[in-house]
Structure 1
């Protein structure tokens, strides 16, 4: 299948630059896999589409202040994006300007410093931070790594975190969850909808377009995930009661589908996944999906196309453009059932 099959025209003015407040007042496009009709709602109305004994599965990963600005020991300016913690004080990172930062270089960020201890084949670097309290200092001086299509850094960076974010490790937000408020989640639980959490730390490659001409030639990046015993048990109990598993975001889909058995069972597990889901694909673990509107030619668009059908998704995106829905991280949402 060709990557070009997942392209579409998107007016630049539809790329959301800031979130809607309250969070749950963004728009919601409801897509049913067994119907050609679309429904236009507000996100807080999602309660009308979820049922008693359904299970919402959320990603509780929290975005780290991973962007650092500093200088080399020579005084030249540098920029670092931390993309994965490998050990205490040891990080995998993207550095700019890449061609100028060699193995052995010392980088200085205010009162924090690190040494480049390796230069990997994919042009990333391994950094070793020298201070014992490096992580605390990173939190103080680091900036949230906002996507490049958002031109202005948000006055309140917490708006780029979900209200249930807990475990630090992502370099991009699991954006489908940005629409939930604590009040909406409480209201859903009062209705009998259950909540469970997985953790998948979103990596830098998640939102990058696929550059290979054929999608089968694209290599996915790895991301670390954890599924707890409690969540695995809730999924099993939901299945037994006839409830539906509703994934909040493509990160949850990739996590659950990475470990699901052929009968749909999900067992507790931690590890790395590089699963690439594109049409045709038989889903084992989920019955519904809440997600944002994704970039053309992206692996995320391919995943939702696998779930709902490529023609239906491209038709839905055409409808969303016509109705001036807001796209990408701070944009509106879809519910696919």
Structure 2
């Protein structure tokens, strides 16, 4: 009898086609493996290891020693160099409807409210015409007339704007190209297999699409606006000065990308569900000493309508395809 049982077990071992490894040491799923979730981790309230509050104080108070004009854009964008060697990006109020500096501050604060750290810390700062031109570097003086004409100078000769942390090295990740788009459209479909090496970037793109719809930024996939760190692994959700147009159903491009993104982060869903007018007013709008309302009542109302639109779209996809196929990111 004993020999018969031994023979039977041997036959079962030969027939067994399942995993040979110990289940306790089997490879982790991408959502559980730190090697594939590192770039999905967030540090809300901290940027580059430093508390946001420290960054914001420095951005407002550090002494400016040099100002450069950033070339290549359709709007006025400047770079401050401070006495301690650090730098900051500055976008002043200007006569360009596609550049509203307070929206970059609103986007940063919304990003933080959602538990993310993708938009560089941003706050407001005021500078006089005399100080700006005194510190304008030699190579940027060619832009003097453009600054004079396009910036919205106040009667007192000053201008307010959004000042944000300068990222030393940024690389454009061409997500808008046909070749790249074909890849991530498949990644975010709830029925295609998602390989481990695709997992991290797919999760970041999903969150970016949801974030852009919420803040109504239609400018993301228009070229050189999907930006990453120098490793081209971690996405930044920056350049939001064309966002927050007060439309409750978002832009047509935003709705199009929302239909593509059918795989979600559970953390992002929970954060969206918690958004309400009270938290938006206290965490985003009520900024002490700001020279303008960070968001108007109309813009807040439209934002809340887009939040409800997002929740409906996410709920519909989960109901149709199932939680396991749609909520695949932490």
Please identify which structure carries the higher strand content: 1
- The alignment's TM-score, normalised by the length of structure 1, stands at 0.25
Bigger relative contact order, structure 1 or 2, given CA contacts below 8 A and separation 6+?
1
- Computing the radius of gyration over CA atoms, which structure comes out larger, 1 or 2? 2
Please identify which structure carries the higher helix content: 2
